Amino acid sequence: MPAPLRLFLPILIVLELLYASIPAIMIMNLDFLRTVIVQSKPTLSNKDIEFAVPIVGIFVAGIHTLFIGLTIWLSVMIRSRGKWARVGLTLVLLIATLGSFASWTAGPMFYGIIIVTNIVHVILVGLLWLPQSVRNFFSA
């Protein structure tokens, strides 16, 4: 296992914690979630807002759980020299980066987490593709 890929695991753990933090913050702070919904759809009735709050919380938690599962599974597959897993993980990280713009619209509370998460995405993709030792590992 090349040295850059050994760095991958601790960085991946940081990424998973970052992914889990956004839904955790939203679910633990339902007033914040309610405010975000009202700001994005001010014409909703109180009844609709009360219906939307748990739905949005479940959706956000589900999406982030999906990305946690995919990144862990693909990272495990990478260890067995799965070239397809390296491509797949790169695509998942790209999709997650693009999806982070949806979290960005939730407001400044998440800006720091989103910026750090996207930096981690870039670092992980760099570790997967840039070092010669990693390229040799996947070409063997």
Q: What digits encode the pLDDT tens for the residues 8-23?
A: 999 999 999 999 999 9
Q: How confident is the model at residue 140 (pLDDT cuts 50, 70, 90)?
A: confident
Residues 49-64, mean pLDDT to the nearest whole number: 94
72, 80, 83, 71: which is closest to 138 by C-alpha?
A: 83
Q: How confident is the model at residue 51 (pLDDT cuts 50, 70, 90)?
A: very high
pLDDT at 135 over 90: yes
Enumerate the H helices of the chain as residue ranges. Answer: 3-28, 30-40, 46-79, 83-104, 111-129, 132-139
Residues 35-48, mean pLDDT to the nearest whole number: 92
- pLDDT at residue number 82: 85
59, 40, 60: which is closest to 49 by C-alpha?
A: 40
Q: How far apart are CA 7 and CA 62, in angstroms?
A: 28
